[in-house]
Structure 1
Amino acid sequence: MSSRGHLVLFRHGCAASYIIPILMYKRICTWRKLCEFLIIQNFIFRNCANQMGEQIDFLMPHFDQESDVLFVETPEEILVYSPNKEVEALREIICGRMQFDERVLQRVLDCGLDAESMCLLNDADLADIFPKTEIGLRIKFRERLSHWRQNEAPTLSPLSSNRSEMTSFEDFKNSEIAQNNLEEILNASPKGKNIINYHKENFFLLDSHREALIGIIVNYFTEKNECMAMKDIANFSEQIITLFPSENMRYYCNRREGKNPTGKLYDKATNVRRKHNKKREHILLDDTDLSSRKDSAPCTSDQNAVADKLWLAHNMEPWSEVVKKWNATIEIRQQDIFNRKVNIFTDWPLLKNSLGYTLIAIDFIAKYKDSANNLINEWPDFRRLIIPYMRDKIKDNASNNMLLMIDENVDSDSTDCIITLLMHSILKPPLISTGNTPNSKRFKWKPSICDAQNVTVLHCEYINDYQRRYDELKSKAMEKCTTLQPLILVIGEELKSLESYYIVFDGVLYKVPTFVRALAILFKLFHVFNLKYPIEAKFLYDFMEKYFFKFDCSVNSNLLLLINYLENAKKCLTKSAKCLSALLVILVDIIQNY
């Protein structure tokens, strides 16, 4: 008998099934020493006898190493123990995937949950499982549960839940593309055969196998000079799950109601299709007049706007009039930025003014009105939630030393600067491939946490040190075939005692009152002038896009895990604030009545 079943009693050729206490089954599966069996045998096997309604004289149990089954012989029968399959599945999730101990597993079992229930748990359920005295454990469980659901939990096929949005597999199975068999495609290449053989031997795939699998599928279409349509992506995602049952369909294609799909196969196929479309557009552009390119840019014939632009080029006060005319010329300014024909500082010299950053904010509001102030408004709650997360997640010594600077004696601006720098310790920069070296090869390098921090915030003890340090950063960027993008300059003897804050943009310095204001303007600057993020710090800006400004963009799993933690923690914080507010109202009422 397999060791993964129920406790089975064999007696005179008959069999009956009994389930014993979960805690005891765990001990039996774990303990191998005979003396340990003797300690617990009376409790367990007498319990089984009581369930049968009779007394049994047990002999000494023994463990069969080959079959991995515990046998207990009696004068009339043999007891064979093996654990419950549902419990084993839940153990794999709680103790394996989520890395909790047996105490948490027992708590979940006591509440009558199983593997399917784990997919349906909500915040109210977690509050019942973990009381207020264990709120830390509840937060950890919620975070790991969210990560498990996102990456590993079984999911219904997107085709079955979104039939109104896309054609199901049955609807297009007779088409030529749908007839492509994944297993045949994989068997046609050595890499594909290796993937299949590895899964047969180990029952799972590594990340390297998944990347190779996606590459084989996309290359199959590329070689045929075709691009994968959405139905092809969904079809092959389903075939992957059928061929490799241990895989999660969300990893390859995750359909989301009202939003763009995500998933590695979807992203890869979409990128290839975009490159294909760009090549086709380039060919078409070669056969058309240059003016056709201007048709897609925002344009205006408003003579008043042109006159206002001319006024702005020669006047810088009164500032109220500057703001009025700046708002009136947003459209032609966007046209100048789109065409990139001129130096933006030449045509719009007011950007060099010390208050030029306020004009950048105006242009950002015109493009993203609903989210313009999100970062400044939400930063206080973010600061409160991210510091405990950093203390738990950050491991490297340099970052931990920086984290220790945050205490009650450090002002909020210095704290905000340190938090921004430490975000790179959580969202570590990826491997980067840029430019061409003299040998005509791509230059590849792995930025450090310090590299990402340096292109985000430049710290100088005195303002006179700025130009030298800035030139050093530009030289390093040129060596790595990159461009030094706008960044924040902070001045102070130490990070925990900062005095002033600037934005450095193409040699222009904007002095701003607070660090968070500087960070908000820096982000807006990239979007107003269509600039690329510094590649070393890309994950930080992706986080700001998704979490603060609510842009609809794809993010990696680490970033998504952080956002899920912050959103769940924010909900708990909001509920606590409401409870406290209600309590205060009650207390005030009691005092007044008293």
Structure 2
Amino acid sequence: MEDLRKILSEDYTLQEQSEYDTYSEIEKSQYQATYTTLTNGSDNFSAPIDNIDNNPEVNLGVRTLDSSIDIFNDIKLLIKEEVKKRVAEHCCSHLSHDSAEGSTPSSPSSNTSFISNPPSPSVTFGSFDIDAILQLFPSGNFVINEFQQLNRIGDSSRAILLECITNWLLKNNQSVTRKEFQYIATKIHDRFNEDPNIYFIPPKKGSKENPSGRLYCRYYNLKRRHRKIGFCAFNNEPGCSSSSIYVNPVLDEEEVEFLNDDISVDVKWLQIHKEPWEEVKFKWQQTHKARQLDIKKQNFPDILNIWPLLKHSAGVTLINIDFEILFPGKQSLLIEKWDSFKSAILPVFNEKIKDKNCHDLLCQLNKKNFLRDPEDILIINLLHAILPPTTRQAAVSSEKKKKFLKPTIKDSQQSLVVEVGEVNDFNPTIDRIATKVRQQGQNLQPLIIQCRYDNTYLVYFNEIKYKFQNFLPALDTCFKIFFALNLKYPIQCKSVWLFIQKFFFQIETSERVSPDVIILIESLKK
């Protein structure tokens, strides 16, 4: 029990500082008092949490705990989740009491066990009732009340909704099938007008990938932790796959027309000639299908050796030709939509960004302080804060041991835009990034270099450099390269690229889209 006490008194509030800062002074007092009661009040973690509003002044101590034992870390995570849930239940019960006139939310002072143990309205999916499940939890009323007032639910309500449903499923020892996850996602859509793909995304027909979505991942992650520490005897279930696939739906071989003698001659001509440029562009269009088939079969470095014209200083024109053939009419959508997007995204940034470093960038954006960074770069860098990386990466430690790391927001930012201050720093910067990527078992993908020494931008890939005077054309070209050359998005910033793909260019592919991207696109439509 003493070990559990140490875990629970670790710096939980500082870890949740970004959420805590959004509370009013009254809610902060309730939060701190609840935290003190949970950590200092009793060794019994199922103790009631009543009579806690009279202690608003609490000194939140910081203790560190160094343990490499996996099971110990899993217990720590479970306890922190329980603390967060119980604090939220207490605070939200006050909010729901104030906002729902005449309603009486469940009392926060009721005995709350370490893992929620509410009575079940039904264990069968035939009568799955979201409202009944939410009303079993004090915080559930907050979700219902918010939807009644705003006709939508926000991030806090989504988190509460997921917590209530997963706790109810685990409490009833429900082994949930994919069809049942789909059913629950549909019920959420019917009740709260939410996109079902936020909660469950089934795999494509014939695919060996696992499903995804917030509900699916939350359920199996929590279930796995319970099983690992012996909490419940669940059967093994598939987790969330982090596998990625090629973004570009390239042509199948049977779709390529018979290459007549003229096309074959043009292909050979393009591989050895660089001019006249008008003839290059004409033959590049004529050979599009043949080149796409060839690109599908080659590794990335081989593509550039076979088609050396891409190394030409005007290679951007060839990338644009291929993109226009692949997606007719979508060539200029990023540039055309950018100004309206800038106006719409600022309120979203102000509402959702909590990361300290990104908050400093947000202050520059709000104050229109663009002395160091142009406005467009600030916006792209801030996108990483609301579309953070979600996939863990395999890496090799200095002891040659394999480990899994979750990329940070900074990792995500630097996998899309890298700053170089001096011309002599260019090659060392690229080498450092390439080395780090190789250690993670990946190849360096196209990215943008912000050259401060001459105020230009380079789209860089495999030692090829396309130079631009402004950031937005560089971003536009970098995006198109992924499709023209059939490349994967970098794992670190995949969500940001997928947002650009779906929001600006409205391109649909088989690439799995995270719920964060779906939520952001929906919020910008309103």
Alignment map for 1:499-578 (pairs within 5 Å): 499-552=455-508, 554-568=512-526
Structure 2 partner of 1:379: 338
Structure 1 partner of 2:387: 427
Return the TM-score normalized by structure 2: 0.56
Secondary structure of 1:403's counterpart equals helix
Gaps of 5+ in 1: 1-94, 107-114, 117-136, 154-201, 219-232, 242-246, 276-292, 569-594
Alignment map for 1:116-135 (pairs within 5 Å): none
Distance 1:102 1:542 in 2: 40
Distance 1:545 1:373 in 2: 13
Give the alignment partner of residue 144 of structure 1, picking from 133, 153, 172: 153
Structure 2 partner of 1:490: 450
- Do the aligned residues in 1 keep the contact of 2:391 with 2:491 (CA within 8 Å)? no
Give the alignment partner of residue 319 of structure 1, picking from 252, 265, 277: 277
Give the alignment partner of residue 267 of structure 1, picking from 194, 203, 211: 203
Give the alignment partner of residue 352 of structure 2, picking from 393, 403, 416: 393
- Do the aligned residues in 2 keep the contact of 1:150 with 1:250 (CA within 8 Å)? no
Alignment map for 1:409-428 (pairs within 5 Å): 410=370, 414-428=374-388
Structure 1 partner of 2:297: 339
What displacement does 1:206 show?
A: 3.8
- Do the aligned residues in 2 keep the contact of 1:432 with 1:445 (CA within 8 Å)? yes
Distance 1:384 1:349 in 2: 41
What displacement does 1:478 show?
A: 1.8
What displacement does 1:513 show?
A: 3.5
- Do the aligned residues in 2 keep the contact of 1:434 with 1:482 (CA within 8 Å)? no
Distance 2:329 2:379 in 1: 26
Distance 1:262 1:299 in 2: 40
Give the alignment partner of residue 404 of structure 1, picking from 357, 363, 369: 363
- Confirm whether residue 367 of structure 1 aligns to residue 326 of structure 2: yes
- Do the aligned residues in 1 keep the contact of 2:197 with 2:518 (CA within 8 Å)? no
Distance 1:382 1:462 in 2: 32
Change (3 A) 1:330 1:437: farther
What displacement does 1:565 show?
A: 1.4
Distance 1:469 1:379 in 2: 30
- Do the aligned residues in 2 keep the contact of 1:501 with 1:512 (CA within 8 Å)? yes
Alignment map for 1:110-509 (pairs within 5 Å): 141=150, 144=153, 204-206=165-167, 209=170, 233-234=178-179, 236-237=180-181, 248-249=185-186, 264=200, 266-267=202-203, 271-272=207-208, 295-296=253-254, 298=256, 300-340=258-298, 343-406=302-365, 407-408=367-368, 410=370, 414-434=374-394, 443-492=403-452, 499-509=455-465
Distance 2:166 2:387 in 1: 25
Secondary structure of 2:486's counterpart equals coil
- Do the aligned residues in 1 keep the contact of 2:460 with 2:466 (CA within 8 Å)? yes
Structure 2 partner of 1:82: none
Change (3 A) 1:468 1:146: closer
Q: Which amino acid aligns with 1:320?
A: E
What displacement does 1:433 show?
A: 3.8
What displacement does 1:337 show?
A: 0.3
What displacement does 1:443 show?
A: 3.7
Q: Which amino acid aligns with 2:424?
A: N
What displacement does 1:444 show?
A: 1.2
Distance 1:369 1:150 in 2: 40
Q: Looking at both structures, which has the greater relative contact order when contacts are Cα pairs under 8 Å and sequence separation is at least 6?
A: 2
Structure 1 partner of 2:76: none
User: What do residues 107-131 of structure 1 show as CA deviations (whole Å, max 9, x unaligned)?
Assistant: xxxxxxxx99xxxxxxxxxxxxxxx
- Do the aligned residues in 1 keep the contact of 2:457 with 2:470 (CA within 8 Å)? yes
Count of matched residue positions in the alignment of Structure 1 and Structure 2:
351
Return the TM-score normalized by structure 1: 0.50
Q: Which amino acid aligns with 1:548?
A: F
Distance 1:512 1:350 in 2: 18
Distance 2:160 2:164 in 1: 17
User: What do residues 456-510 of structure 1 show as CA deviations (whole Å, max 9, x unaligned)?
Assistant: 10111133321110100111112222222110011126xxxx8111100111100
Secondary structure of 1:518's counterpart equals helix
Change (3 A) 1:319 1:207: farther
Q: Which amino acid aligns with 2:166?
A: L
Structure in which a larger fraction of residues adopt strand: 1
Secondary structure of 1:503's counterpart equals strand
What displacement does 1:333 show?
A: 0.7
- Do the aligned residues in 1 keep the contact of 2:393 with 2:440 (CA within 8 Å)? no
Distance 2:497 2:395 in 1: 22
- Do the aligned residues in 1 keep the contact of 2:417 with 2:450 (CA within 8 Å)? yes
Q: Which amino acid aligns with 1:520?
A: D
Distance 1:484 1:467 in 2: 14
Secondary structure of 1:264's counterpart equals coil
Change (3 A) 1:217 1:402: same
- Do the aligned residues in 2 keep the contact of 1:455 with 1:537 (CA within 8 Å)? yes
User: What do residues 550-583 of structure 1 show as CA deviations (whole Å, max 9, x unaligned)?
Assistant: 1336533322221111111xxxxxxxxxxxxxxx
Change (3 A) 1:263 1:458: same
Secondary structure of 1:300's counterpart equals coil
Change (3 A) 1:542 1:510: same
Distance 2:492 2:168 in 1: 23
What displacement does 1:315 show?
A: 2.7
Gaps of 5+ in 2: 1-90, 102-129, 132-145, 212-250
What displacement does 1:314 show?
A: 3.0
Distance 1:343 1:533 in 2: 19
Secondary structure of 2:264's counterpart equals helix
Distance 1:274 1:397 in 2: 34
Distance 1:432 1:271 in 2: 21
Q: Which amino acid aligns with 2:480?
A: K
Distance 2:443 2:168 in 1: 32
What displacement does 1:250 show?
A: 5.1
Distance 1:439 1:412 in 2: 40
Distance 1:207 1:432 in 2: 28
- Do the aligned residues in 1 keep the contact of 2:189 with 2:196 (CA within 8 Å)? no
Change (3 A) 1:208 1:481: farther
Distance 1:312 1:147 in 2: 56
Distance 1:268 1:307 in 2: 40
Distance 1:151 1:417 in 2: 34
Distance 2:348 2:263 in 1: 50
Q: Which amino acid aligns with 1:503?
A: V
Change (3 A) 1:444 1:329: same
